[in-house]
Amino acid sequence: MSYGPAPWVQRHWDLRAAANFVFGGIGSGVIVFASLAGARGTPAALALVAGLALVGAGLFSVWLEIGRPFRAIRVFTNPRTSWMSREAYVAIALAAMALVAAWMHRAEAPAATVAGALAALVALAFVYCQGRMLNAAKGIPAWRSPATAGLIVTTSLAEGAGAWWLVAAAHAQGTRGALALLGVLLVARLLAWLAYRRTIAGAPRAAAALAPAGWALAVAGTLAPLVLLAVAATMSVEAWVLGLSAAAGALALAGGAWFKIALILRGAYNQGFAVPHMPVRGART
Amino acid sequence: MTRWAMIADLRRCVGCQTCTAACKHANATPPGVQWRRVLDVEVGDYPDVKRAFVPVGCQHCDDPPCMHVCPTTATRKRADGIVTIDYDLCIGCAYCAVACPYQARYKTERATFAYGAPAAHETKRHDPDRIAVATKCTFCVERIDAGLAAGMTPGVDPEATPACVNACIAQALTFGDLDDPASNVSTLLEGNRHFRMHSELGTGPGFYYLWDGAGPDGGVPALRKLVEQAMELA
Amino acid sequence: MPDRPGAVAATASTRVPTYCYQCVAGPDLLTVKVVDGVATEVEPNFCAAEVHPGGGKVCVKAYGLVQKTYHPNRVLTPMVRTNPRKGRDEDPGFVPISWEDAYSLIAAKLNAIRAEGLADASGYPRVAATFGGGGTPQSYMGTFPAFLSAWGPVDMGFGSGQGVKCYHSEHLYGEFWHRAFIVAPDTPRTDYLISCGANVEASGGVVGVWRHANARVRGMKRVQVEPHLSITGACSAEWVPIKPKTDAAFLFALLHVLVHEMPRKRLDLPFLAKRTASAYLVGPNGYYLRDRATLKPLVWDEARGVAVAHDTPGVVEALEGRHEVDAVEIGPDEALLAQGRLPGTTAFTLTAEHLAPYSPEWAEAVCEVPAARIRKIAREYLDHARVGETIEIEGVTLPFRPVAVSLGKTVNNGWGGYECCWARTMLAVLVGALEVPGGTIGTTVRLNRPQSDRLKSVKAGPDGFMAYPLNTTDKARWSPKPNIRNAYRTMVPLAADGPWSQALGPTHFSWMFLDETPKGLPRVMPPDVWFVYRTNPAISFWDTAEVQKRMARFPFVVAFAFTRDETNHFADVLLPDATDLESLQLIRIGGTKFVEQFWDHQGFALRQPAVATQGDARDFTDIASELADRCGLTREYVTAINRGVAGVPLKSAAWNVELDAGRRQSREEIWDAVCKAASAEVTDGREMHGLDWWKEKGFLTRPYPQLDWYLLPTLVEHGLRFELPYQERLKRVGAELGARLHEHDMHWWDRQLEEYQALPAWKDFPGVWEAALREQGGEPEAFPFWLLTARSMQYAWGGNVGMQLIKEVADNIAGHRGVIVNGATARRLGIADGDEIEIATPHRSTRGLAVVREGIRPDTLLAIGQFDHWATPYAKDFGLASLNSLATMSLALTDATGSGADVVRVSLRRAGGARRGPR
């Protein structure tokens, strides 16, 4: 047994910060997926704007959390080393690119797809920044894992795909290819989670705290939607296909979002303290 | 060059919390904020139990994660190893706080006082600039700078030495220049076994923990060396 | 801007030198930083580093003084009670009054007493006063002692913790055997220390911590014998978990190993023969065999083969053996018990025979420490003792015995205290380690005189031993009419009749006897006026509920009040005194003093107002002068000050700064004179500095020889022996006391009389508390836990329970947020860390949070400190369990010295409350 100030869950970042990762991830994912799914025209424009709005909501949420919100502009001052600064710059770029691409899609401009792809690349960079932001937090073993960035990126893409499908299916916009892509992303996310999980085995408290969300991610957020997608793939009635796809998208989205909230709020045990050698007091007996 | 560092001798520390209280006085930290904190750690199962008291706080790392993540450059590292925070630049995002593997950083959202309303001494020392931004141990940098300017030696002259070190009633805390091979800290490190906390993270803490003498039987090798030399001479 | 400490718009910043004496291990010399008239920081007085044995550092408690000064709940104006009914549930209805009204009210009561007579119908003083532990209030109450001295008889025997919370047996036996009010290791030179429950890292103050930290790094091995892994246990090389209240068995077994399992020659035989009474011949009735003519105790002279008086020049004392000698044996009341050719046995032989049954195997069954471990510790002790070696101290060669044994609270008080103190002192005696460098030494005297010089208190007494002012037990002078309510002079000969004796009697008797004065003593009634300062017996004594009930019957209580608290809840008048950083006083520092205060310097230190007094609080000296004036006692009061009651006599052969006793003197005039006398004393009259000089400098000292840390040279100089191992005098005194009591048909002290044994034997000490449990209707199986307490470095003696800073930092140490429970025990009872638990005796219970740790015996619970507040602001919200509310005050739990111990048998269960987080 060992009693002392064991690691405890960090309280510096709360749901407001978690919302940044959730909304930012979904928003970026939507933008990326819209591009990958080959969306065009108004649906693509809507996806870009909605994705951007989600990213904005996330950033607004975290703005509510910072202690000195009116100094927020200073967040741009350290892109040299800070992934938070980089995230901020990328967010600006993303806003510009997404709005341009959305306008071009709305206007059905010939290069809209290229603009959308560029926006998707910037969105990818945005979630990568988010992943690296967590990864750079050395004080939190569950975040500083080398697999964190990969997990954050894949789950964001899967969440975005899920969200895209949720909306797209409702508007009967989906394609079988996009459906398969969702499946691929879900598998990728599952693999990223499994890889990540191995890296946090040395942080048992965090691993235990994340286990329920991990199971939820694997079962409700991955296996269940994959089954739904598989069933949907065998269906010929479009309404059934769309309905099942929407359900799969919702599960993919919810599983990822739930996991990220857990990652920020529950699995975020700090490093605690370590005394590798107990002191020798007077004599070594 | 100068590299300021602190040493905590775990053999000496008794967990009296005098350093913690002295730090709170010197730095006027609000309730609950302990830039210098002393842990009470117990290891083992009854009856084979060990208990130790471990001073912690900002480790003034060689490669401080808090500095790298800071989006505003509020956290910086001086050439002498001291990691500082510019409260006027800090936006209070607390990214540094989650990046610090030593739980050394605090953020106080609103002014808090010991008994609710501020007492006279709290009013006198309350600093609104420290609200909603990151704060942490500064190694009492202003004492060091003022002391150096006055020709004093930090770690030796009390006026130029961190308050916790001045206050320590067990001589468990020592402060000095790591780059000076003859300094108090260099001598202690040479003569004793020591570790740095979470060294595997590569942060290079400027805070060392002594846990035993360096000789085969513990004790002070420097002393033993002197005795041996004396015997050889004889 | 870069980092900075607070927005200090320092326009006028100064550092004011002063002292902190909040605990018995003080004083600590410090400076207070004052910015624009506001105290902001406490720092060590770095100028004191050269003269202070703790590097001039300051204890954590001192850092609470700034908060204390500006505490929002301070009483800042005199208050008077408006509700005549007193009780815990009664609102006192305090309302502010002017100082004039407060003084008038108090003076009217006091003058009425003077008119009627200073003693009540039973002969007890009508005025009583209770001050906090360890004499600490005396360093804060200015000239109030001079007022009390001018007043006349005052009952200072109402306890507030004395006896139960102090090293009671050690105080009495320690002073008796080696002028050691407190016994300490010679830490800077000790190599091996057995510490039975002595928690020096929590109660030894700055100096204790400093010295032991140095000793650890030097390589001193300390073995901590204690039921829980205390701070001191943590900082020791070894922890030996021992069953509570069985330390005597452990120590007896150590003695057994030294005497029966080690070669005799490894003991310090010359020391035993020459410096102790080991060679004295004991007769068939247990008293020394004496020379017919001189009545001096006899020893067998090995050189001449005859019995001779112990002080015969050139005698070679036979340490062991039996010899038939021509002698007389004198018993109690000078009765001639035997004469002629009498069989005599040396005290050492009797001691060895006495120790024979106490083998480590026997002890293991009692104290649950493995026999092999006891043997190992005994051997290590002997191996480190360096018998035969010497050391030079300041040019004088002394024996060097770097082994010591220290005892802590609950070990050295209450039943078993005598046995432990005797065994500890014998461990030193066997290897010649008593009062020598490296060994077990005394600190100061409080029962012998003069208080200021331990060595000067050594005077030749009977039988080659030091004189000791035992309270008389002879038929002519013993009286069943005590001078104060706790009857120390009547019941406890060892309590002596010195400066502190009133507070070292059975101080709970003052409370207990209010309702049930036992047969033979005059009826005990409450005092007409009770002064209370820096103490809170309603919280800090044992059986606090009962103490509160009896306190409620006191007709007029004057409490010097910092904030409201549980004791001044029963007061009639609250007087706000200027607190630590606001008031003025000069005290004596240095030399050797309590706990581990062994200085290389001695002198005086000034406490001065660092900041203006808050509200309408007043300096204690002003209050004392005013009360003296209104009682018509100014002449006596100033005369007492002149005599030295304020700390230093104002007149000597070389100087005279006496004050005019014919008129009232101001506070500044008084302390200016005291300062001048003090500086003259320190400089042998060369310098005479007034108050202003002292305000600037803060302290003044001169060297104090380390040689004076040790009593042995003085003993040798006087040709005296330590009164060990055999306690002939105590045996006689006990028999005489028994006779006196029985002559007055007083039999309620018979059990205590059994403690007067010449060689203390093991008794079932844990059984004493189990019997007390049965008396309450409980069976030990149903109440299987030993509830203990321990001192807290952050709080002990401090009266600082209401300081947020202290609470905040103390909470970093396990046990300050709840009761420490062993991990396996907790798991067995379904208790998790942070659970609410109930600790109960058959009739009472207390609740708190569980702090689950491994460093405690499975049968032991630990409630640190004494936190059961219900009136003190801030502290009343702690929600902590306290042993004091469970302990019962009883005669059965009182030993012969009049002390009890902090032990209660209890049950433990999870209370079912919400889990509230970790320690």
What domains does chain C contain, in order, with CATH numbers? 183-442 (3.40.228.10), 764-910 (2.40.40.20)
pLDDT class of C78 with cuts at 50, 70, 90: very high
Q: Contact B18/C57, CB-based, under 8 Å? A: yes
pLDDT at C499: 79
Residue C165 has pLDDT above 90, yes or no: no
Q: Contact C43/B167, CB-based, under 8 Å? A: yes
Q: Contact A281/C854, CB-based, under 8 Å? A: no
pLDDT class of A237 with cuts at 50, 70, 90: confident
**With an 8 Å Cβ cutoff, is B214 touching chain A?**
no
Q: C727 with C761: CB under 8 angstroms?
A: no
According to DSSP, the β-strands at B37-45 and A2-3 are: antiparallel
Give residue-wise pLDDT tens across range C20-62: 999 999 899 999 999 999 999 999 999 999 999 999 999 999 9
Peptide bond into B71 cis (omega under 30): no
Q: Contact A282/C236, CB-based, under 8 Å? A: yes
**Mean of pLDDT over chain C:** 95
Nearest residue on chain A to B56, judged by CA atoms?
A: A273
pLDDT at C458: 97
Question: Chain C interface residues facing chain A, Cβ-Cβ under 8 Å?
Answer: 215-216, 219-222, 235-238, 814, 823, 833, 852-854
Q: C278 with C343: CB under 8 angstroms?
A: no
Give residue-wise pLDDT tens across range A141-183: 999 999 999 999 999 999 999 999 888 877 777 677 888 899 9
* Closest to C73 (Cα-Cα) out of C723, C640, C580, C561: C561
* Nearest CB neighbour to B12, from listed C64, C216, C231: C216
**Complete domains list, chain A, with CATH:** 15-265 (1.20.1630.10)
**With an 8 Å Cβ cutoff, is C219 touching chain B?**
yes
Q: How far is C158 from chain B (nearest CA, A)?
A: 32
Return d(Cα C347, Cα C353) in angstroms, integer: 10
> If 0-12 CB within 10 Å is exposed, 13-18 middle and 19+ buried, where does residue A106 land?
middle
Q: Contact C5/B28, CB-based, under 8 Å? A: yes
Reported residue count of chain B is 234
Partners of B39 on chain A (C-beta within 8 Å) are 4-5, 273
Peptide bond into B47 cis (omega under 30): yes
Mean pLDDT to the nearest integer, C280-304: 98
pLDDT at B216: 65
Nearest residue on chain B to C858, judged by CA atoms?
A: B46
Q: Best of B93, B103, B209 to disrupt the A interface by mutation (most A CBs within 10 Å)?
A: B93
| Per-domain residue ranges of chain B | 4-233
Nearest residue on chain B to A88, judged by CA atoms?
A: B71
Partners of B24 on chain C (C-beta within 8 Å) are 63, 805, 808-809
**With an 8 Å Cβ cutoff, is A75 touching chain B?**
yes
pLDDT at B217: 59
Strands (E) in C182-293, as ranges, are 183-185, 192-196, 221-225, 238-240, 281-282, 289-290
pLDDT at C914: 52
* Nearest CB neighbour to C36, from listed B22, B124, B172: B124
According to DSSP, the β-strands at C289-290 and C322-330 are: antiparallel
Is the C-alpha dihedral spanning C61, C63, C67, C68 positive or negative? positive
Q: Best of A1, A11, A12 to disrupt the B interface by mutation (most B CBs within 10 Å)?
A: A12
Opening angle at CA A186, ends A184 and A191, nearest 5: 95
pLDDT at A5: 83
Instruction: State the chains in contact with B (3 or more Cβ–Cβ pairs under 8 Å).
Output: A, C
**Mean of pLDDT over chain A:** 94
Return d(Cα C101, Cα C79) in angstroms, integer: 10
End-to-end Cα separation, chain B, in angstroms: 40
Residue C915 has pLDDT above 80, yes or no: no
How many CA atoms lie less than 13 Å away from C286 in the CB half-sphere? 15
* Closest to C175 (Cα-Cα) out of C609, C461, C437, C495: C495
Q: C146 with C641: CB under 8 angstroms?
A: yes
pLDDT at C11: 54
Instruction: State the chains in contact with A (3 or more Cβ–Cβ pairs under 8 Å).
Output: B, C
Q: How far is A210 from chain B (nearest CA, A)?
A: 18
Q: Contact A138/B212, CB-based, under 8 Å? A: no
**With an 8 Å Cβ cutoff, is B139 touching chain A?**
no
Nearest residue on chain A to B46, judged by CA atoms?
A: A1
Give residue-wise pLDDT tens across range C578-592: 999 999 999 999 999
pLDDT class of A6 with cuts at 50, 70, 90: confident
**With an 8 Å Cβ cutoff, is B40 touching chain A?**
yes
Q: How many CB pairs under 8 A join A and C?
A: 27
Q: C537 with C134: CB under 8 angstroms?
A: no
- Token pair, residue C478, equals 């013993």
Q: Report ipTM (2 d.p.).
A: 0.95
- Token pair, residue C913, equals 């409350």
Strand partners for C130: C532
Q: Contact B42/C72, CB-based, under 8 Å? A: no
* Closest to C5 (Cα-Cα) out of B156, B121, A166: B121
**With an 8 Å Cβ cutoff, is B10 touching chain C?**
no
Q: Which residues 77-106 in chain B show a CB within 8 A of chain A?
A: 89-95, 97-103
* Nearest CB neighbour to C217, from listed B12, B18, B25: B12
Per-residue pLDDT of chain B (234 residues; tens, 9 = 90+): 999 999 999 999 999 999 999 999 999 999 999 999 999 999 999 999 999 999 999 999 999 999 999 999 999 999 999 999 999 999 999 999 999 999 999 999 999 999 999 999 999 999 999 999 999 999 999 999 999 999 999 999 999 999 999 999 999 999 999 999 999 999 999 999 999 999 999 999 999 999 999 876 555 444 444 445 554 544
Q: Contact C856/B46, CB-based, under 8 Å? A: yes
Q: What is the pTM of this model?
A: 0.95
- Token pair, residue A271, equals 């490093």
Give residue-wise pLDDT tens across range C171-215: 999 999 999 999 999 999 999 999 999 999 999 999 999 999 999
Residue C8 has pLDDT above 90, yes or no: no
Q: Which of A220-224, C161-165, C181-185, C525-529 has the lowest mean pLDDT?
A: C161-165
Mean pLDDT to the nearest integer, A245-266: 95
Mean pLDDT to the nearest integer, C646-674: 97
CATH code linked to domain B4-233: 3.30.70.20
- Token pair, residue C843, equals 């009739």
Q: Best of B4, B7, B11, B18 to disrupt the C interface by mutation (most C CBs within 10 Å)?
A: B18
Q: How far is A237 from chain C (nearest CA, A)?
A: 55
